[in-house]
Amino acid sequence: MRSRRPRRRGTLIVLAALPALFAVALVADAGPRGLRVGALMLKPCTSSGAAARAGAWCGDFRRALDPRGEIAGEIPIYFEFYPHTSTGPSRGTLVATEGGPGYPATGSRASYLALYAPMRAARDVLIMDNRGTGGSGAIDCPGLQKAAVMSESLVEECGRLLGARAPLYSTTLATDDLAALIEAMAAAPVDLYGDSYGTFFAQVFALRHPRQLRSLVLDGAYPLADASYAWYPNYAPAMRDKFNLACARSSACAGLPGDSMSHIAPALELLRAQPAQEQAPDASGRMHAVNADAAALAIVMYGSAPARASVREVDAAARAFTAGDRRPLLRLMAETQSGVDSRDAAEAPAAFSAGLAAAVMCQDAPQVFDMTLAPAQRMADRDRAMAERRRREPDTYAPFTIDEYRRMPLDYSFIDECVRWPAPPPEWPPGRLAPPGTAYPSTPTLVVSGDLDNMTPVADGTLAARNFPRGRQVILRNSLHVNALPHARSGCGADIVRRFIETLDAGDAACAEAVPELRLVPRFARFVRDLDPATAQHGNAANAMQLRVVSAAALAVGDALVRAPDIGGGDGVGLRGGRFSVLETANGYRISLRRMRWTEDLQISGTVTAPRRDGAARAVLRLEGESGLSGTLTLEWREGVAHAQAAVRGQLGGRAVAARVDAP
């Protein structure tokens, strides 16, 4: 199982236009006491303003903490129910389950409802927080919860704090909670969607409760695998492919000799030879202590946080680092420190439970050591396995060594996270996800994978799809992790998922090949003169140096634009000075640049308006540089198209500019 802690904003699930044969016998009647759904009485949501505004009804479904009854007590399972919006009976229930683990599914309600919006007239939506998350008794292990980075001792402390309750937060029991809730609501069969760890949950649900499913969607999937998967064998190949493919498909990188890994290799060798303690700002300007070494580069490349900026910039930043310009790569290292920390500003367990993440990882995931051993024996077992791995397969995580890989945060390297977790009791054996001999059901199953996703690689999705007799995998080109939610690079994944739910057939998936390439930085430059000039067009009077200013302006706009989704409605800092602010609009972003510097010798102010995915984008800029390099420029381009070019008009140093340049 893959546990991770990137900062997140959503998850989802889906249903279909059910034929009358499969019409759901769900009864929803509103009255003075609330809304009766099946055997449950729900109340209007009041604890969450967002749920209330969306017309949700809420409930706490009481479940035994320990189904064996050996540990007394109940746990409230919090859920939100969104009735269909048209008159007449419901045609089915869409259920969403969140990734992580550790995140509450209701925290991603906006993403789920956006995915389901075209289907909600006739279909209900159910979102449940898994036990130990959100409103379902979120686990609070204070030391682990407040730590920006996991440690073996903090994970051990959390396990001891939970004691005999630790195995009771497993994925298996969480799926049983959902099954009992669906039964109480008379909602079966449902259409279940999961992303990332949610795909793990969804597969366990399918094995344990197949009769409650009509369809299954796994978005960013990895399989329920045997012990050999504990080394995550597809992780490093997918990471290398991510950078190599992105380079090969980008006009900014494809013409360079060698592949992206060869471009990055000299920087990696320099980090090994000369590690250093540095201070660097993340995108918001918050300073971080950065240990600039091979492990810091590994987490940037493996961690995919920030997802788009890291792919866009690592190749060029590594080349700049080797040439003596350290700032671009150090900034990515600082941004990754922020990006892999899943906690909110208040470090609230209800927003993300680090304790639940550890409990699930240590109960359910395959390990390189025997979890039934006492921790001291387990550590010896781990050390033996590591020595053997170094001897037989030293390139498991190439270009990084096994030891460099293990210096990443525990919840991204995975290997050592649970080595000191208390051994589970015999009645709760680790890794027991379904009764022995359970066969995968014939539920129609769709697996959606991004071909640049190294968190849940294409190869992992292929294995997951093959396990289901009616499984099909769709691979989206130039796409990252999780591709049916609003943050995805295109709407293709969501369209395919909706069609699959409607018809139980993914149909024509040609759009998966049409997602445009990620636009990479050609090079980082401290001075405008070091950039290639933009291409002059009819009517241009600007000289070569002024056309280099055009290139610098476009790259500065792209630098802010790629960070807008991570900053949200907030402020950021320029690579070499100045600031920018981001305002989220209904369709995209409006960015204000204030004397922002991407190179040291050019300040850029103005506004950028761009859609999230597709449509027209525009930047209106004022530039201040050396003599003859100041003036105004307007850039116009389209997002969502391959090899996009920006048309540039304006004047610099009194000369008319008419040029084309790669879109920001």
Task: For 159-182, write each residue's pLDDT tens digit.
Answer: 999 999 999 999 999 999 999 999
- CA distance linking residue 447 with residue 657, whole number of Å: 48
pLDDT(70) > 90: yes
* pLDDT bracket for residue 29 (50, 70, 90): low
How far is Cα 512 from Cα 475, in angstroms, rounded to an integer? 6
Q: How confident is the model at residue 147 (pLDDT cuts 50, 70, 90)?
A: very high
For strands 213-219 and 445-450, give the pairing: parallel
337: Cβ contacts below 8 Å, ≥ 6 apart: 148, 282, 288, 290
Residue 407 lies in a domain: no
Express each pLDDT in 81-133 by its tens digit. Answer: 999 999 999 999 999 999 899 999 999 999 999 999 999 999 999 999 999 99
Quick one: tokens of 66? 């320990």
pTM (2 d.p.): 0.94
259 domain-assigned: no
* SS3 sequence of 211-255: HHEEEEEEECCCCCCCHHHHHCCCHHHHHHHHHHHHHHCCCCCCC
Binned at pLDDT 50, 70 and 90, residue 10 comes out as: very low
Of 574, 555, 314, 586, nearest to 454 by C-alpha is: 314
Q: Determine, yes or no, domain membership for 13.
A: no
Over 60: is that where the pLDDT of 337 sits?
A: yes
Domain assignment of residue 437, yes or no: no
User: Is 491 part of any domain?
Assistant: no
Of the listed ranges 31-45, 233-247, 466-480, 601-615, the one predicted with least confidence: 31-45
How many structural domains are present in the chain?
1
pLDDT band at 8 (very low <50, low <70, confident <90, very high): very low
Q: Which tokens go with 52?
A: 């209330």
Cα–Cα distance, 43 to 58 (Å, whole number): 5
Q: Looking at residue 553, what is its pLDDT?
A: 98
Residue-level pLDDT at 434:
82
Q: Is residue 137 part of a domain?
A: no
Q: Is 68's pLDDT higher than 50?
A: yes
Give the per-residue pLDDT at 112.
Answer: 97
Q: Give the mean pLDDT of 265-282.
A: 97
Percentage of the chain lying above the pLDDT 70 cut: 95
Instruction: Please give the residue range of the domain that contains residue 572.
Output: 528-662
pLDDT of residue 11: 31
For 27, the token pair is 């009864």
177 phi and psi, to 5 degrees? Answer: -60, -45
Residues 207 and 377: their CA atoms lie apart, in Å, by: 33
Residue 637 is assigned to a structural domain of this protein: yes
Round the average pLDDT of the chain to a whole number and report it: 93
Whether the pLDDT of residue 50 is over 90: the answer is no
Q: Residue 579's closest CA among 565, 597, 567, 563?
A: 597
The answer to whether residue 81 sits within a structural domain is no
264's torsion region: left (phi>0), alpha (psi -120 to 50) or beta?
Answer: alpha
